[in-house]
Amino acid sequence: MPTQHFLKLRIDRKNAIIKALTRQFATREYGDISVKELADEASISRGSFYLYFDDKEDAFLTSVKAYTDRLEQDLLNIFIKSKNIKETIMQVFDYLTHLSQFEHSFFEKINNNLSLGVPDLIAETFDQFAEKINTLLKSLLLKQNVEITPEIEEQINLRREILFSVLISSIINLGLNRATLSEVRNSLKKKIDLILISPICHELKSEE
């Protein structure tokens, strides 16, 4: 965790330092990077580096936290603005599969240097939006005059978990080059339709 000295910097200064650190961590192997190189990239002295961070690992984790916070905010905006479940899942898929090469490189470094891999990070991010998805599912069902009983609650929870699972699986399969982007995207759309087909969830599907 960065020190209080770092946290008290102006927001633009903090962002500039984190951006510089992230650039190093994304484009080079972690073990090859020295503290001096990180400090030079961030235009700070070696002494200032240790004033802001405990060590190289602390700087790396700070960069990861800053990036995942932004990713979470971008995903939150998708969840807030989307009108239905299928649209939400597909927009999240499109967002994550259209990241820049720089971001993909940083993801790879996170995956290689943290016990918590990228799929786990994505899963943790989705978990934070579980209640938002549940609320959206419930609101759509209520519009169809479906009573939210304990049994319906269970159905909603199960479908949310399955939706997140197939989304993460689709992203991983694309990363493994098992199919083209178009093939994976079309397959995901079909899976969403199947998950949402049931007497109580028929109306949860988006209109084509």
**pLDDT 10s digits, 21-77:** 999 998 898 899 999 999 999 999 999 999 999 999 999 999 988 988 888 788 878
* Each residue's pLDDT tens digit, 68-89: 888 878 887 887 777 777 888 8
The residue from 27, 48, 81 where one domain ends is 81
179 and 98: one domain?
A: yes
Compute the radius of gyration of the chain from its Cα atoms.
21
In three-state secondary structure terms, 154 is helix
**Residue closest to 51 by CA, chosen among 115, 3, 104:** 3
Here the tokens at position 105 are: 């490189």
Name the pTM for this structure: 0.71
Counted domains in the chain? 2
Same domain for 38 and 100, yes or no, is no
Our CA dihedral for 27, 33, 37, 42, rounded to 10 degrees, sits at 50
Higher pLDDT, 11 or 200: 11
Asked whether residue 67 falls in the same domain as residue 14, the answer is yes
Highest-confidence range of 26-30, 96-100, 127-131, 140-144, by mean pLDDT?
Answer: 26-30
User: Do 73 and 87 fall within a single domain?
Assistant: no
Q: Apex CA 165: angle with CA 163 and CA 167, to 5°?
A: 70
Residues spanned by the domain of 169 = 83-208
CATH number at residue 36: 1.10.357.10
